[in-house]
Amino acid sequence: MASPSSKVRIAVIGASGYTGADLVRLALRHPRIEIVALTAATHAGRKMEQVFPHLANTGLPTLCRNEDVDWSDIDVAFCGLPHATSQQVINTLPSHLKIIDVSADFRLRDPLLYEKTYGNPHAAIDLQKEAVYGLTEHYRQHIKQTRLVACPGCYPTAVLTLLLPLVSQGLIDATDLIIDAKSGLTGAGRALKQNTLFAEAGEGMCAYAVAQHRHAPEIEQELSLAAGKELLVNFTPHLIPMSRGELVTCYARLSENYTAEDCRQTLQNHYQNEPFVDLSPTDVIPHTQHVRGSNKVTLNAYEDRIPGRVILIAALDNLVKGSSGQALQNMNVMCDIPETTGLEQIALFP
């Protein structure tokens, strides 16, 4: 293990988005991190507190362009750019860097599937070959050995944490999955969009990207690996009028002779030593309020009224465990730092 007094010098690429800001918030209280560079093309030359006043008086470096960073002075780069842009930038970074990408650009293992899903050719196929999918609890050993981690999307993080143990052990029929997912508005990013204006999104809820959301192929990729066969899932996301948080409800057919309690016990056994995955008590339904601001995901399983079916629920904070917190968790693994370092925050309530 590295010396407990040594610092990991980091850069955050795309620091002016919600993900970048939350990563900076968490990194500021990480005892082993020194924030050396923050980039944001449209805000270059501005102080971080001018973009995010809640980060005032924290001694952060001034925002700059990527090309103005001295990368020889950086150990780890976090990339929070949009898809396609992320590939192009990461492809130019020096090979000594450990890179943690929170965009979608390296999540899909097949470059042709990436092109089909995101509408543009993969721009860094050689890098894709060394990228490790960053679902920490399931790929920890691979993450330790790579220099490029592709952090999962927020929806896949919740869905896969909930379903992978059950699919891999055959407790549920992986060909019959209905995934109902709901996320706070920060999941849509910080750019101005009509559907996320207060007057458009407040006091209501709506489905979006019905039957075509880009996280579906990512979910199917990992579930197919666990099941040993190609799968398609029924996945529908919804926007809910809150800033952060995510709730996923999955409806599944139980395999013969299995019960909802078997699912609960399997999840308990699989995650009993994981610091950031909790199984709720049997009489407690996971709420986004239980995890807000924390790096936790909470799970539970319930017997359906329809015989032979189970209802599975997961809740997480889409900006923390669903994005920046998981990115820091992966950095800790990559840098041989105790995994919970800088991520011990208890959820905010109310």
β-strands 297-303, 277-279 pairing: parallel
Question: Choosing from 154, 250, 263, 335, which is the catalytic residue?
Answer: 154
State residue 350's pLDDT score: 84
The pTM assigned to this predicted structure is 0.95
* Res 202: pLDDT: 79
pLDDT tens over the chain, length 350 residues: 456 669 999 999 999 998 999 999 999 999 999 999 999 988 999 999 999 999 999 999 999 999 999 999 999 999 999 888 999 999 999 999 999 999 999 999 999 999 999 999 999 999 999 999 999 999 999 999 999 999 999 999 999 999 999 999 999 999 999 999 999 887 777 676 777 776 777 788 889 989 999 999 999 999 999 999 999 999 999 999 988 999 999 999 999 999 999 999 999 999 999 999 999 999 999 999 999 999 999 999 999 999 999 999 999 999 999 999 999 999 999 999 999 999 999 999 98
Q: Which DSSP state fits 282?
A: T
- Is 335 one of the annotated active-site residues of the chain? no
What's the pLDDT score for residue 1? 46
**Which residues are paired to 206 by β-bridges?**
239
Tens digit of pLDDT for each residue in 95-114? Answer: 999 999 999 999 999 999 99
Residue 62: per-residue pLDDT? 97
Q: What is the pLDDT of residue 192?
A: 65
List, in order, residues 6 or more apart from 307 with CB less than 8 Å away.
none
Domain annotation for the chain: domains and CATH numbers:
8-130 (3.40.50.720), 155-319 (3.30.360.10)
* Residue 348 DSSP symbol: P
The residue type found at 95 is: S
Per-position b or e across 125-147, b if 16+ CB within 10 A of its CB:
eebbeebbbbbbbbbbeebeebb
- Rounded CA-CA distance 124/104 in Å is 13
Whether the CB-CB separation of 97 and 147 falls below 8 Å is answered with yes
What local confidence, expressed as pLDDT, does residue 201 receive? 72
CB 234 within 8 A of CB 177: yes
